Chains A and B, each alone.
Chain A
Amino acid sequence: MPSSNSHHNSANAQVNHIACPDCDLILSIPSLAVNEVTYCTRCDATLLKNQKNSINRTLAFAITGLILFIISNLFPLLSLKAIGLTQESSLLSTAFALFQADQPLLSLIILLTTFVFPATTLVGTIYILIQVKTNRINTYTAPLFRFLRSTDAWGMLEIFLLAILVALVKLGDVADVIYGVSLYAFCLLILSLSLLSYSLNPQDVWNKLRDKQEVSI
């Protein structure tokens, strides 16, 4: 039913119009110059952007990000030295420490926001963009991309970086803090993640998926 529906309508207003996601206003899609962004005329929501090479750039940032994410997890982020003892912390060990301290739910929240969601974002983005680039879109591409878009807010590594800075200041005058190897990789990871979300133009992926669907009908 949905396939016949879309085919039937592809000729009229639906194709060259867009509804504002924040206020539902119907606007015609303008032809955008490179780096141009359109906003809703009623509520100023960002509607569409045209970024040159968005898919290639995003893919590059995602691959860089994945490598940095792996490095960030191999070595400790911070170590604390006191009374002859050294305590190390990494992304996973932070979540695990809460589990050991009888806070399994809190531990799960940390595990999801600092490990699981960032990892799925990186791996999922790479997978989808490669599929889009090589024209090997299958029935799972769209649901997977939807999942990535809706879990985007739950990867919180940049907030975790802020927390590291806060912990550094708090502990600074109490004990010796040693920056781990991974901390540098982690800072670069945050940079690639923000560049990734800046360069990703979801509409480019959706357009590819839509074209593909129309061909298959």
Chain B
Amino acid sequence: MNQSFATHTPLSTKAWPFYVLMMVLTALLISLFIAALCMGSVPLSLNEVWQSLKATAILTSESDILWQLRLPRSVLAMVVGVHFALAGLILQAVIRNPLADPSILGVNGGASLAIVLCLLAVDYVQLHLLKLSDAHFDFVWLPTIALLGGVLATGLVLKLSWRQQLQPNQLALNGVAIGAVLNALVMWAILAWGGNRTETSLIWLAGSLYGRDFSQLYLLLPWTFVGVVGCFLLLRHLAILQLDSEAAQTLGLNVKRWRLVSLFIAVALAASATAVTGPLGFVGLIVPHFAKALLARFGLGASLPHLMIMCILSGAALTLAADIASRTLISPLEIPTGTLTTLMGIPILLLLIRRQS
């Protein structure tokens, strides 16, 4: 064979543009975090923030705001952003469709329906069966219920696609169908029986971080650990799953098994995050594209380890920025964070895609 290219061209995987990019994003994230602690309906100076953080006991109203409100909320925003972004990254690889996001497996629909039904049922039981004058509900249970709902809905989607080897198209079609049915049921339940729970339900459905504290964060962190470690270990298999299933199989990958494992990790990430904040629109869809476009602009290939790091950083940053905006734009009122992730994310995405082509 013609050996004219035999001169060995060294592989130029230039590492430094990636590290620069990573540093810049990290710096951005840290600045956002500091801003998140300072900004709000009661502005705090950097010094006040620092003093409150150092204090061991909550003495002042500043440290109260910081420890009870802003710190847990901001950390939660970042963690949830990471959850949705990684879930989106995994799903887009497994489903082999750039439009895949956590809602495609019915996670949102299942979680929403579980929450709404639960709120309504508790009200009904307390008001009509127990004849209590005022319905009381312990909100601590909501995340667990949402998680259950999300996992059940996804289980149904997987069950329906099982016979077809969890083929991407089947998954997407079944997921969209189940999701549509669930969302219709949610709306119907709210409209028909919402009563005084209509507002609570709608706020949860819009995706919000209002009133979240450390207890929710603790609930989430085990899943964060499972998700991030799982995702990291899964990267090589995900890369192969991105090829078509025949190619993946000839490379010695047990396609069905690894699809299932990947989907499990994605669902664990998405459902647990949805449980705590409600569906934060489009984070899972946008962030992986954002990460890819960013890497492409810096002349880097879309290698999954790089993408994963980019997704973690930009997912956290996007959600945190959206949450800051949601608290400050029309303070003291709030815009649901989910609304803002959508409003902020979509233009960024469109811009990047335009620039790229």
Chains A and B are bound partners = no
Q: Point out residues on A near B: beta carbons under 8 Å.
A: none
